[in-house]
Structure 1
Amino acid sequence: MDSGSPTTSVTGLRTLAIDIGGTRLKAGLLDPGGDMVVGPNRVDTPRAASPEAVVEALLDIATPLGAFDRISIGFPGVVRYGHVLTAPNLGTKLWRQFPLARTLSDRLGKPARMLNDAEVQGLGVIDGQAIECVITLGTGMGFAVFDDGRPAPHLELSQHPIHKGMTYDAFIGVAALRDVGRKRWNKRVKRALSAITMLVGYDMLYIGGGNAKHLTLDLPPNVKLVSNEAGITGGVRLWDPRLDPVFRPHAAG
């Protein structure tokens, strides 16, 4: 949900960028070019990750950052028009239909936009040409596809089965890395990449997330590792006018 409009000059806008993960919450201030000028502040995701607990934790790390004009949120699940539909890695059904964008906008007094966290990360790294795909390797596996720079309709591929009934989240998420070790985990990631390549037929694939550092695979030229900080720095692009249709509030339920 786009809750109002920024009030300062476009040339001087600062964005509060929030990255919500199953393990960590992060927030930083971005200048108009997407460079981080303050932060990021980090805190562990509350163990009982209810909407109320997460919102309070976000306020605790966002408020000390200073003044800003707008808010960008990356959320680990299916989101639509500012509402959360699913939150598989936050461990509670209380998120269903929670108006997170509006809630943070009301609490912080600035307009807010929200997309899936992999989509926000993607906006921070894509070139904006042809078919580009982004996956994030963290608590689970984030997934996003872009067509000439615009997010395609979101697919929660992380919850789709890939092997013997195991979802991508279960197959290559952080729990799998701990259970099977780095060598077998890399083999699993290779299998997942083959499946995604067949499914998407992308021109370029970007791999981010906190566990990307554990990859030892030989990657082809059209697959690139990217900084995990893009999950925050992509926040500026949520406010690109070309993305305005994605945030039209009339379709919110």
Structure 2
Amino acid sequence: MTARPANAHQARLLALLRDAGPHSRAQLGDQVELSRSKLAVEVERLLDTGLVVADGLAASRGGRRSHNVRLSPGLRFLGVDIGATSIDVAVTNAELEILGHLTQVMEVREGPVAVFEQVLAMAAELRDAGLADGFDGAGIGVPGPVRFPEGVPVAPPIMPGWDGFPVREALSQELGCPVMVDNDVNLMAMGEQHAGVARTVADFLCVKIGTGIGCGIVVGGNVHRGTTGSAGDIGHIQAVPDGRPCACGNRGCLEAHFGGAALARDAEEAARQGRSPELAARLAAHGGLTAADVAAGAAAGDATCLDLIREGGTRTGQVIAGLVSFFNPGLVVIGGGVTGLGHTLLAAVRTQVYRQSLPLATGNLPIVLGELGPIAGVTGAARLISDHVFSPA
């Protein structure tokens, strides 16, 4: 098993090398508040652990040239993003660059045993491709609330059979490395924070619109999970009084009116009622419709598809407007499978938020699509486990 840093100074040095790449000792000294002698001691201790290695001579700053140090090129993290209808698995190096990435269609409803068999098979495929001898840690995202300290899903509405399943413990035994588990939206937020559109923002919201709808809340650079792990469960905020029944047992939830499943249902209804020749043709060809069909219809200029997206974007915008007035973020990121709906969706969300929230909160508020797309979750998962491995034992 990988050694862990012995103290907070070493943890800070590891995070710096992860986020900014190789540094000379002099550059490290510029960024951490340590005397030269204390810095030299901590770097030597990290070299002894094997977590960092010498990496050639640094550029001269006058006087004797120092060596660069970098994170060990042999470190490997596994990022796993389990969605409602798909699994993404990736291997990264210590700087969280993705070395290999696999995607597999699979329903989370098939239960934890079947899903984790698939995850382990995908991890083995990446390992056998020569990308890793083993893993130094794994981060796992699941589409429901997680009791974070134990790494256990709690009462997830769309995940029958998962309540209380010991995800962290089971996978740690199978993979032979530390494992951390979090909600998939929190990991998307961490991914965008590490390598995406939120790199320079300390307080932001990351809204994932997929089969369901959730929100990652980042405060002062850290994910806010709430007391029981259900912070940001905005799909179950009421958007339509006395509206449609929702999987959670209430009526009128945002998710019941605009998530991937609701959009597919509305699209099929429009096709059967003859309101959209484009959707009718797709339904006849495939026997069912998805959000991707609505996106394709909108791109082809189909008025019904555009209306469905605008209506959903307006409802989502109403909920986000309330969050913006309450939280006053510096950025709102929109991601997830439904972002194939792109700028039509974004325009509807923006219009509603800017109309409804106070000008003081929205005067300088960017509302943007995520940059990382399908790798946001696995990047965030690798970030989560690296934070753990690079923290003092």
Which residue number in structure 1 is paired with residue 287 of structure 2? Answer: none
The alignment's TM-score, normalised by the length of structure 2, stands at: 0.56
Please point out which of 81, 100, 103 is paired with 1:19. 81
Alpha-carbon distance, 1:112 to partner: 0.4
Which residue number in structure 2 is paired with residue 210 of structure 1? Answer: 337
Counterparts of residues 227-242 of structure 1 (less than 5 Å): 227-228=372-373, 229-238=375-384, 239-240=386-387
Question: Which stretches in structure 2 are left out of the alignment for 5+ residues?
Answer: 4-49, 53-70, 194-198, 242-250, 267-307, 355-364
Q: How big is each residue's C-alpha offset from its partner over 1:180-210, in whole Å with a ceiling of 9 and x where there is no partner?
A: 3334323333333323323432121111111
**Is the CA contact (8 Å cut-off) linking 1:140 and 1:168 kept in structure 2?**
no
Which residue number in structure 1 is paired with residue 155 of structure 2? Answer: 86
Give the aligned residue type for 2:369.
L
Alpha-carbon distance, 1:15 to partner: 0.9
Q: Distance in 1 between matches of 2:256 and 2:208?
A: 14
Give the aligned residue type for 2:257.
F
Which residue number in structure 2 is paired with residue 30 of structure 1? Answer: 92
Aligned residues: 239
**Is the CA contact (8 Å cut-off) linking 1:27 and 1:42 kept in structure 2?**
yes
Counterparts of residues 125-144 of structure 1 (less than 5 Å): 125-126=192-193, 127=199, 129-144=201-216
**Is the CA contact (8 Å cut-off) linking 1:19 and 1:75 kept in structure 2?**
yes
Q: Which has the larger share of helix?
A: 2
Give the aligned residue type for 2:80.
I
**Which piece of structure 1 moves more, 181-190 or 107-116?**
181-190
Alpha-carbon distance, 1:169 to partner: 2.0
Give the aligned residue type for 1:202.
P
Alpha-carbon distance, 1:50 to partner: 1.3
1:101 aligns with 2:245: no
Alpha-carbon distance, 1:60 to partner: 1.7
**What do you get for the CA RMSD once the two structures are aligned?**
2.5
Which residue number in structure 1 is paired with residue 366 of structure 2? Answer: 222
> Which structure is richer in relative contact order (CA contacts within 8 A, separation 6 or more)?
1
Q: Distance in 2 between matches of 1:6 and 1:104?
A: 17
Counterparts of residues 1-253 of structure 1 (less than 5 Å): 6-7=2-3, 9=51, 11-12=71-72, 13-39=75-101, 41-46=102-107, 48-66=109-127, 67=132, 68-80=135-147, 81=149, 82-90=151-159, 92=160, 94-126=161-193, 127=199, 129-154=201-226, 155=231, 156-164=233-241, 165-180=251-266, 181-215=308-342, 216=344, 217-218=346-347, 219=350, 221-226=365-370, 227-228=372-373, 229-238=375-384, 239-240=386-387
Q: Distance in 1 between matches of 2:255 and 2:390?
A: 28
Q: Identity rate of aligned residues, in percent?
A: 27
Give the aligned residue type for 1:145.
I
Q: Which has the larger share of strand?
A: 1
Question: Which stretches in structure 1 are left out of the alignment for 5+ residues?
Answer: 249-253
The alignment's TM-score, normalised by the length of structure 1, stands at: 0.84
Q: 1:243 to 1:152 in 2, by over 3 A?
A: farther
